[in-house]
Amino acid sequence: VATTYSLTNTPLTVTDPAGDVTRTCYDGLDRATVAVDPTGRATRTTYNLAGQPTLVERWFTASLTDATCTLTQAREPHLTTNRWRGMEYNVGGLQSAEIDGNGNRTTMDYDGLGRLMRTTFADTKFIQTVRNERDQVVITTKRSGDVHQTFYDAMGRVERVWEHGPAATYPVGRITRTSFDLASRPVCGRMSRPRPPRPSTTRCSATSAPTATIPWAGSSSTGSPPTTGPWARRSRS
Protein backbone atom coordinates (compact mmCIF):
# COMPACT_ATOMS: atom_id res chain seq x y z
CA VAL A 1 0.00 0.00 0.00
CA ALA A 2 1.34 3.41 -0.98
CA THR A 3 0.07 6.64 0.59
CA THR A 4 0.76 10.28 -0.19
CA TYR A 5 0.31 12.99 2.43
CA SER A 6 -0.33 16.71 2.59
CA LEU A 7 1.91 19.20 4.38
CA THR A 8 -0.29 18.74 7.45
CA ASN A 9 0.15 14.96 7.35
CA THR A 10 -3.33 14.09 6.13
CA PRO A 11 -3.55 11.21 3.61
CA LEU A 12 -4.30 12.42 0.09
CA THR A 13 -4.11 9.28 -2.04
CA VAL A 14 -3.93 5.61 -1.18
CA THR A 15 -2.88 2.96 -3.70
CA ASP A 16 -3.69 -0.63 -2.76
CA PRO A 17 -1.74 -3.75 -3.87
CA ALA A 18 -4.03 -4.12 -6.90
CA GLY A 19 -3.09 -0.63 -8.07
CA ASP A 20 -6.48 0.93 -7.28
CA VAL A 21 -6.27 4.53 -6.11
CA THR A 22 -8.53 6.54 -3.81
CA ARG A 23 -8.26 10.27 -3.20
CA THR A 24 -9.42 12.51 -0.34
CA CYS A 25 -9.62 16.30 -0.34
CA TYR A 26 -9.89 18.51 2.75
CA ASP A 27 -11.07 21.96 3.77
CA GLY A 28 -8.94 24.55 5.54
CA LEU A 29 -9.50 22.79 8.87
CA ASP A 30 -8.29 19.45 7.53
CA ARG A 31 -11.77 17.95 7.52
CA ALA A 32 -12.36 15.42 4.76
CA THR A 33 -14.81 17.06 2.35
CA VAL A 34 -14.54 14.93 -0.80
CA ALA A 35 -13.74 11.23 -1.10
CA VAL A 36 -13.15 9.70 -4.54
CA ASP A 37 -13.21 5.92 -5.01
CA PRO A 38 -11.15 4.00 -7.62
CA THR A 39 -13.95 4.28 -10.19
CA GLY A 40 -14.09 8.07 -9.90
CA ARG A 41 -17.32 8.22 -7.92
CA ALA A 42 -17.18 11.03 -5.39
CA THR A 43 -18.91 11.81 -2.09
CA ARG A 44 -19.02 15.30 -0.58
CA THR A 45 -19.43 16.07 3.14
CA THR A 46 -20.43 19.42 4.64
CA TYR A 47 -19.78 20.40 8.28
CA ASN A 48 -21.17 22.90 10.78
CA LEU A 49 -19.08 25.31 12.85
CA ALA A 50 -18.61 22.62 15.50
CA GLY A 51 -17.05 20.27 12.96
CA GLN A 52 -20.02 17.91 12.86
CA PRO A 53 -21.17 16.54 9.49
CA THR A 54 -24.49 18.06 8.44
CA LEU A 55 -24.81 16.86 4.85
CA VAL A 56 -23.45 13.90 2.89
CA GLU A 57 -23.96 14.07 -0.88
CA ARG A 58 -23.41 11.39 -3.50
CA TRP A 59 -23.76 10.96 -7.24
CA PHE A 60 -20.77 13.05 -8.27
CA THR A 61 -17.64 12.11 -10.18
CA ALA A 62 -14.12 13.50 -9.89
CA SER A 63 -10.74 12.80 -11.42
CA LEU A 64 -8.30 10.84 -9.30
CA THR A 65 -5.48 12.98 -10.68
CA ASP A 66 -7.17 16.26 -9.72
CA ALA A 67 -5.70 17.48 -6.43
CA THR A 68 -8.66 19.84 -5.93
CA CYS A 69 -11.34 17.14 -6.34
CA THR A 70 -13.46 19.22 -8.69
CA LEU A 71 -16.89 17.61 -8.82
CA THR A 72 -18.98 16.79 -11.87
CA GLN A 73 -22.69 16.18 -11.52
CA ALA A 74 -23.58 12.52 -12.18
CA ARG A 75 -27.05 12.32 -10.67
CA GLU A 76 -29.50 10.10 -12.51
CA PRO A 77 -32.62 11.77 -13.96
CA HIS A 78 -35.03 10.22 -11.45
CA LEU A 79 -33.13 11.78 -8.54
CA THR A 80 -34.00 15.31 -7.45
CA THR A 81 -31.19 15.86 -4.95
CA ASN A 82 -27.64 14.74 -4.28
CA ARG A 83 -28.41 14.42 -0.60
CA TRP A 84 -27.76 10.97 0.76
CA ARG A 85 -27.93 11.88 4.44
CA GLY A 86 -28.60 15.08 6.34
CA MET A 87 -27.89 15.48 10.05
CA GLU A 88 -29.20 17.96 12.62
CA TYR A 89 -27.99 18.57 16.17
CA ASN A 90 -29.47 20.00 19.35
CA VAL A 91 -27.95 22.82 21.41
CA GLY A 92 -25.93 20.27 23.36
CA GLY A 93 -24.27 18.98 20.21
CA LEU A 94 -26.11 15.66 20.15
CA GLN A 95 -27.57 14.46 16.89
CA SER A 96 -31.29 15.19 16.94
CA ALA A 97 -32.33 14.14 13.43
CA GLU A 98 -31.24 12.30 10.31
CA ILE A 99 -32.88 12.86 6.92
CA ASP A 100 -32.40 10.50 4.00
CA GLY A 101 -32.42 11.31 0.30
CA ASN A 102 -36.19 10.88 0.10
CA GLY A 103 -36.82 13.34 2.91
CA ASN A 104 -37.66 10.65 5.46
CA ARG A 105 -36.83 12.00 8.89
CA THR A 106 -35.65 10.07 11.94
CA THR A 107 -35.48 11.99 15.22
CA MET A 108 -33.59 11.32 18.44
CA ASP A 109 -34.53 12.46 21.96
CA TYR A 110 -32.26 12.43 25.00
CA ASP A 111 -32.64 12.71 28.75
CA GLY A 112 -30.98 15.37 30.90
CA LEU A 113 -27.76 13.33 31.03
CA GLY A 114 -27.44 13.14 27.27
CA ARG A 115 -28.50 9.51 27.06
CA LEU A 116 -30.51 8.48 24.02
CA MET A 117 -34.08 7.78 25.15
CA ARG A 118 -36.14 7.58 22.00
CA THR A 119 -35.62 7.17 18.27
CA THR A 120 -38.69 7.98 16.17
CA PHE A 121 -38.78 6.87 12.54
CA ALA A 122 -40.50 8.43 9.55
CA ASP A 123 -43.41 5.98 9.84
CA THR A 124 -43.97 7.20 13.47
CA LYS A 125 -42.81 3.89 14.93
CA PHE A 126 -40.17 4.25 17.59
CA ILE A 127 -37.60 2.60 19.83
CA GLN A 128 -37.52 3.84 23.41
CA THR A 129 -35.26 3.10 26.36
CA VAL A 130 -35.76 4.00 30.03
CA ARG A 131 -32.84 3.78 32.46
CA ASN A 132 -32.62 3.84 36.24
CA GLU A 133 -30.31 5.88 38.46
CA ARG A 134 -27.60 3.25 37.96
CA ASP A 135 -27.75 3.75 34.18
CA GLN A 136 -29.25 0.28 33.79
CA VAL A 137 -31.89 -0.28 31.13
CA VAL A 138 -35.22 -1.02 32.81
CA ILE A 139 -37.71 -0.67 29.93
CA THR A 140 -37.11 -1.11 26.21
CA THR A 141 -39.90 -0.56 23.71
CA LYS A 142 -39.09 -2.08 20.34
CA ARG A 143 -40.13 -0.79 16.94
CA SER A 144 -42.70 -3.58 16.77
CA GLY A 145 -44.31 -2.28 19.96
CA ASP A 146 -43.12 -5.20 22.08
CA VAL A 147 -41.78 -4.26 25.50
CA HIS A 148 -38.90 -5.71 27.51
CA GLN A 149 -38.86 -4.84 31.22
CA THR A 150 -35.83 -5.72 33.30
CA PHE A 151 -35.88 -5.93 37.10
CA TYR A 152 -32.73 -5.79 39.23
CA ASP A 153 -31.99 -6.85 42.78
CA ALA A 154 -30.33 -4.65 45.41
CA MET A 155 -26.90 -5.57 44.03
CA GLY A 156 -27.78 -4.51 40.50
CA ARG A 157 -28.10 -8.03 39.11
CA VAL A 158 -30.80 -8.94 36.61
CA GLU A 159 -33.25 -11.08 38.53
CA ARG A 160 -36.29 -10.93 36.25
CA VAL A 161 -37.07 -10.05 32.62
CA TRP A 162 -40.63 -9.64 31.40
CA GLU A 163 -41.18 -9.62 27.63
CA HIS A 164 -44.67 -8.75 26.47
CA GLY A 165 -46.86 -6.99 23.93
CA PRO A 166 -47.80 -3.31 24.19
CA ALA A 167 -51.15 -3.90 25.92
CA ALA A 168 -50.28 -6.96 28.02
CA THR A 169 -50.89 -7.13 31.76
CA TYR A 170 -48.74 -9.16 34.11
CA PRO A 171 -48.12 -12.08 33.91
CA VAL A 172 -49.04 -12.37 30.22
CA GLY A 173 -45.84 -12.67 28.21
CA ARG A 174 -42.54 -14.41 28.73
CA ILE A 175 -41.00 -14.12 32.17
CA THR A 176 -37.44 -15.17 32.93
CA ARG A 177 -36.12 -15.28 36.49
CA THR A 178 -32.57 -15.84 37.67
CA SER A 179 -31.28 -16.74 41.15
CA PHE A 180 -27.70 -16.23 42.33
CA ASP A 181 -25.44 -17.80 44.93
CA LEU A 182 -23.40 -15.83 47.48
CA ALA A 183 -20.67 -15.32 44.87
CA SER A 184 -23.18 -13.70 42.49
CA ARG A 185 -23.04 -16.68 40.16
CA PRO A 186 -26.33 -17.57 38.44
CA VAL A 187 -27.46 -20.91 39.84
CA CYS A 188 -31.08 -21.16 38.76
CA GLY A 189 -32.96 -19.96 35.71
CA ARG A 190 -36.72 -20.23 35.37
CA MET A 191 -38.97 -19.20 32.51
CA SER A 192 -42.64 -19.05 31.65
CA ARG A 193 -43.76 -18.54 28.07
CA PRO A 194 -46.83 -17.13 26.36
CA ARG A 195 -49.44 -19.13 24.46
CA PRO A 196 -48.93 -20.24 21.78
CA PRO A 197 -46.51 -22.01 22.00
CA ARG A 198 -47.55 -23.91 25.08
CA PRO A 199 -46.01 -22.84 28.40
CA SER A 200 -42.81 -24.48 29.51
CA THR A 201 -40.54 -24.16 32.51
CA THR A 202 -36.82 -24.78 32.77
CA ARG A 203 -35.64 -26.40 35.97
CA CYS A 204 -32.67 -25.53 38.12
CA SER A 205 -31.28 -29.03 37.63
CA ALA A 206 -32.22 -32.35 36.08
CA THR A 207 -33.24 -33.83 39.42
CA SER A 208 -35.01 -31.04 41.28
CA ALA A 209 -37.89 -28.68 40.56
CA PRO A 210 -37.61 -24.90 40.76
CA THR A 211 -37.50 -23.52 44.29
CA ALA A 212 -40.45 -21.20 43.59
CA THR A 213 -43.70 -21.49 41.71
CA ILE A 214 -43.67 -19.44 38.51
CA PRO A 215 -46.84 -17.86 37.07
CA TRP A 216 -47.71 -19.43 33.76
CA ALA A 217 -48.07 -16.70 31.19
CA GLY A 218 -51.65 -16.19 30.15
CA SER A 219 -53.06 -17.85 33.26
CA SER A 220 -55.10 -16.15 35.95
CA SER A 221 -53.27 -17.76 38.84
CA THR A 222 -49.76 -18.40 40.02
CA GLY A 223 -50.10 -22.17 40.15
CA SER A 224 -48.52 -24.93 38.13
CA PRO A 225 -49.27 -25.50 34.43
CA PRO A 226 -52.75 -26.91 33.76
CA THR A 227 -53.26 -30.66 34.06
CA THR A 228 -56.55 -30.74 32.15
CA GLY A 229 -57.87 -29.13 29.00
CA PRO A 230 -56.16 -28.36 25.67
CA TRP A 231 -53.10 -26.85 27.34
CA ALA A 232 -52.50 -29.75 29.71
CA ARG A 233 -49.04 -31.26 29.61
CA ARG A 234 -46.86 -33.50 31.64
CA SER A 235 -44.11 -32.05 33.77
CA ARG A 236 -40.66 -32.80 32.49
CA SER A 237 -37.44 -33.23 34.36
| Closest C-alpha to 10, from 32, 35, 42, 40 | 32
Residue 237 pLDDT class (50, 70, 90 cuts): very low
pTM score, whole prediction: 0.70
Residue 10 pLDDT class (50, 70, 90 cuts): very high
pLDDT at 170 over 70: yes
Choose between 107 and 181: higher pLDDT. 107
Q: Output DSSP code: residue 145.
A: S
Q: Percent of the chain at pLDDT above 70?
A: 81
Reported as a single tens digit per residue, the pLDDT across 110-135 is 999 999 999 999 999 999 999 999 99
* Beta carbons within 8 Å of 24's beta carbon, 6+ residues apart: 10, 11, 12, 13, 32, 34, 35, 36
User: In whole numbers, what is the pLDDT of the chain averaged over residues?
Assistant: 86
